[in-house]
Amino acid sequence: MALAHPILFCLPRLSPKQIMVPAKLESQPPSLRSTYRILGAVSSTTTQFSISHHPKDERPSVNYQPSIWNYDFLQSLNNDHADIIYKERAVKLEEELRCGMNDADPLNLLQLIDDIQRLGLEHRFEMDIDRALAKFVCDVAKENTIGLHAVALRFRLLRQYGYDISQDVFKGFMDGKGNFKECLCKDVKAMLSLYEASLLGFEGEDVMDEALVFTRMHLKGISDEEKDLTQQVTRALELPLHRKLLRLETRRYIEDYGERDNAKLNLLELAKLDFNMVQSTLQEDLKEMSRWWMDIRLASKLNFARDRLTECFFWTVGVVSQPQFRHCRKVLTKVASFVTTIDDIYDVHGTLDELESFTDAVQRWDLGAVENLPDYMELCFLALYNSINEMAYETLRDHGQNILPYLRKAWADLCKAFLKEANWAHIHTYFLQRANITIEALHSLEHYHDVIRWPSIIFRLCNDLGTAKDELERGKSVNAITCYINETGCSEVMARQHISELIEDYLKKLNKCYVDGSPFSKHYIETAINLARISQCIY
């Protein structure tokens, strides 16, 4: 069965080695074309700009490259995997595999759960996985009897699913000096599992820190004799599983899994069917969003701003990839498009007086405030006002909660302090993923719970690492890197290293959100963590 291309939503179903590139892309620089082929619609196009100044009103402008995603091309996307015949086959395969979840062998069951997750099928087996993992919580006393690979795999899966399993399960593999036994390095598969598990460590967990150092050192020296694992090790060292954009990883893992001698054929068939069915859903969503963006006409009316609808949709796929949350992706695409436009209003086009008026209008959330705005801001404010009010109305109608005050606060915060630009995504995502909205959760959102705070900071720091050079060329000098240089007098290289280390620290803080008690669902916590993943993937 042919699989859709890793460019998640932009291309029809292709064989694994085929690549289709929109005609406009061939005129772009080679570096951009290669990035496209690896990731799909990424924001690298936004870094190509030239700066012009208009002496008449001293208003700078950034001549961003036009979108490479032609409207007609997006509307032409067609994937036939929404047909009922594929859905019926998928349900049959799903029931066959559900019986395999009763496997009594711990390692076989753990491996099956890991394969299901990495093949993008978790949304089909959530309850089955929860029941299976609950049994493993009682087996912590058996860590030395099932081997390091199984212990590490169990540790990683339990932490991912919110179980507070202790790092002490690895102490049986350490010597009296607190070091991992050197004999372990002979088992490359176990070392790889321990490495992936170490990335779910918390702050202050010395065993997990030691595991990361130990495995990283030995995996870098893996011999060519282990050819079946060499590629896996190389990929893991480049970017561990816990940091990857899972939807992209799924496409790659399906191919890797298909090359295994012991691959379950029904699992492989279901993975391919599911990937193409989800692909079809994403393509339809993108076509709808493209029509909305064309109708709202911000791109054509505000020609100083970036036209990045497809890139915004790609971002939301990275944050919320589960097929059942398509409404959430659509709304977040609208939100991201507004954020991109407003970012350019503040960074590129608006004068100080205009920005003060726009911030006031958003804070007041009053149609009367548009009288003080120039035409381009009036258009943007009214489009934002209508879209957010519509979302609030739908939530009140369907769930009985008035969320408008919280959304208004999020947008006011964005405009008053644009360094908090990542918070919008979490606020909107929570309301779009839950039917039961609690007062406790609303309070946590309003005061920026750690589930929101840590990925937002990671997003901000990744953004600065990736865009600082371009922003300096535009004359925008305030970011984490320049601030640290000004505070310490260090070099740019040292500042970048420091910011990278901060990101690692915040990732550990974020890991703790898996097991800390919070009013948020597992889906929402995973969405927050996905923001950190997509930030690293894009920037």
Residue ranges per structural domain of the chain: 23-68+297-538, 84-273
Give residue-wise pLDDT tens across range 293-327: 999 999 999 988 999 999 999 999 999 888 888 99
Alpha carbons 507 and 257: distance in angstroms, whole number: 29
Structure tokens at 393: 């109305």
Most confident of 229-233, 273-277, 411-415: 273-277
Q: What is the pLDDT of residue 55?
A: 43
Alpha carbons 107 and 367: distance in angstroms, whole number: 61
Give residue-wise pLDDT tens across range 38-66: 223 323 333 444 444 444 456 666 678 88
Q: What is the pLDDT of residue 492?
A: 87
Alpha carbons 7 and 317: distance in angstroms, whole number: 11
Among the ranges given (403-412, 432-441, 507-516), the one the predictor scored with the smallest mean pLDDT: 432-441
Mean pLDDT in residue range 515-521: 67
**Mean predicted lDDT score pLDDT of the chain:** 80
Pick the CATH number of 23-68+297-538 from 3.40.1190.20, 1.10.600.10, 3.40.50.300, 3.30.2010.10: 1.10.600.10
The crossing angle, in degrees rounded to 10, of helices 404-416 and 352-364 is 160
pLDDT at 535 over 70: yes
Structure tokens at 74: 């997006």
CA-based nearest residue to 292, from 404, 408, 383, 425: 383
pLDDT at 78 over 70: yes
Q: How far, in whole angstroms, is CA 30 from its chain's centroid?
A: 26
- Position with higher pLDDT, 16 vs 192: 192
pLDDT at 169 over 70: yes
Q: What is the pLDDT of residue 13?
A: 40
Task: Give the list of residues 6+ apart from residue 484 with CB closer than 8 angstroms, or none.
Answer: 490, 495, 498, 499
Which 8-state DSSP code applies to residue 200? T
Share of the chain above pLDDT 90, in %: 43
Among the ranges given (29-33, 95-99, 285-289, 331-335), the one the predictor scored with the smallest mean pLDDT: 29-33
pLDDT at 88 over 60: yes
Query: What's the length of the chain?
Result: 539
CA distances from 147 to 106, 107, 150, 194, 537 (A): 11, 9, 6, 11, 33
Q: What is the pLDDT of residue 37?
A: 29
Residue 141's SS3 state is helix
Q: What is the pLDDT of residue 475?
A: 54
Q: What is the pLDDT of residue 120?
A: 95
Task: Say what the pTM is.
Answer: 0.77
Give residue-wise pLDDT tens across range 377-401: 999 999 999 999 999 999 999 889 9
**Residue 296 burial (C-beta neighbours within 10 Å; 0-12, 13-18, 19+):** buried
CA-based nearest residue to 283, from 326, 324, 245: 326
Which 8-state DSSP code applies to residue 52? E
Alpha carbons 517 and 418: distance in angstroms, whole number: 30
Task: Give the list of residues 6+ apart from residue 91 with CB closer than 8 angstroms, or none.
Answer: none
Q: Is the domain defined by 84-273 classed in CATH 3.30.460.20?
A: no
Q: What is the pLDDT of residue 342?
A: 92
- Position with higher pLDDT, 435 vs 356: 356
Q: b/e map of 268-279 (b: 16 or more CB within 10 Å)?
A: bbbbbbbbbbbb
Task: Give the list of residues 6+ apart from residue 53 with CB closer than 8 angstroms, or none.
Answer: 59, 60, 61
pLDDT at 251 over 70: yes
Calculate ∠ Cα 144-148-152, nearest 5°: 110
Alpha carbons 526 and 512: distance in angstroms, whole number: 12
